[in-house]
Amino acid sequence: MPHRDSQDRFWPRHMVEVIPAPGDTALIIIDMQYLDAHPDFGLAKKAAESGRTDIYEHLFSRLPRVITNIQRLQKLCRETGIEVIFIKIQSYTQDGRDLSPGYKAKGMQCPPGSKEAQILEEIQPVGDEIVLPKLSTSAFTSTPIDQLLRYMGITKLLVCGVNTNYCVETFIRDAFDRGYEVILLEDCCAAIVEEHHRVTCEEVDDIFCKVHSTENILQAIEQNRPVGKNPGKYRGRRGT
């Protein structure tokens, strides 16, 4: 594999810093659901039944910190009027016949009303926050998220969730190609393999997005907090 310095000659890493602010920014939470982000359900349950609990050891050791950081972001985004949008794997049919061929092949069965289709309890949507079921790896190919973001005037995306090197990375690349300014929240993401998370963050940084910590983005949002009336309250939302 070429050294990063040699890659930079062909892919210059000089992205302009993204400044999140109410009105043009959304927090995008990807696949934080019982299907793939809880040890007792979905994919982890299947792995345990086959005697392979080791597969998810790193993921589930990291997720408590990820969930805490997402909660912190949700709270501030709701207070300041930044949209909070959830993307989850879920078919529209009970038998999953509408899932992409890739999801069918991987056994990503997640029908409406199932436990696996639910967002984790700790970070569930509130009020009228948007939840988009997706049928494939990319939310941009199997949900109306692009139209929704454009209709709401959103151009900047704070992205988090699982898995960093799968659906999160795919979302970031697709968003970049569509002209969105993207921030990957490194400590709000996780992957099954630690090295895959690290490499993904390194490779997308300053090419497809900016990579930041939760703390950095919380500070940036605070600096752009509207003065006066509470936008979150004005828009009919409540905090966690």
Question: Rounded to an integer, what distance in angstroms lies between the CA atom of residue 240 and that of residue 20?
Answer: 20
Nearest of 173, 204, 142 to residue 4 by alpha carbon: 204
The helix or strand, by DSSP H or E, that contains position 140, with its residue range, turns out to be helix 139-142
Per-residue pLDDT of the chain (240 residues; tens, 9 = 90+): 344 554 555 556 668 899 999 999 999 999 999 999 999 999 999 999 989 989 999 999 999 999 999 999 999 999 999 999 999 999 999 999 999 999 999 989 899 999 999 999 999 999 999 999 999 999 999 999 999 999 999 999 999 999 999 999 999 999 999 999 999 999 999 999 999 999 999 999 999 999 999 999 999 999 988 765 555 543 444 444
CA angle 85, 64, 33 (to 5 degrees): 40
Question: Rounded to an integer, what distance in angstroms lies between the CA atom of residue 175 and that of residue 12?
Answer: 19
Specify whether the CB–CB gap between 135 and 98 falls below 8 A.
Answer: yes
What does the domain layout of the chain look like in residue ranges? 20-227
Q: How many CB atoms lie within 10 A of CB 89?
A: 25
pLDDT for position 7: 55
Q: How many CB atoms lie within 10 A of CB 215?
A: 11
Specify whether the CB–CB gap between 35 and 116 falls below 8 A.
Answer: yes
Class of 20-227 in CATH: alpha beta
Nearest of 185, 100, 106 to residue 140 by alpha carbon: 100
Q: Which residues of 26-41 are buried (b: 16+ CB within 10 A; e: fewer)?
A: bbbbbbbbbbbbbbeb
Tokens, residue 184: 């990957």
The pTM score is 0.90
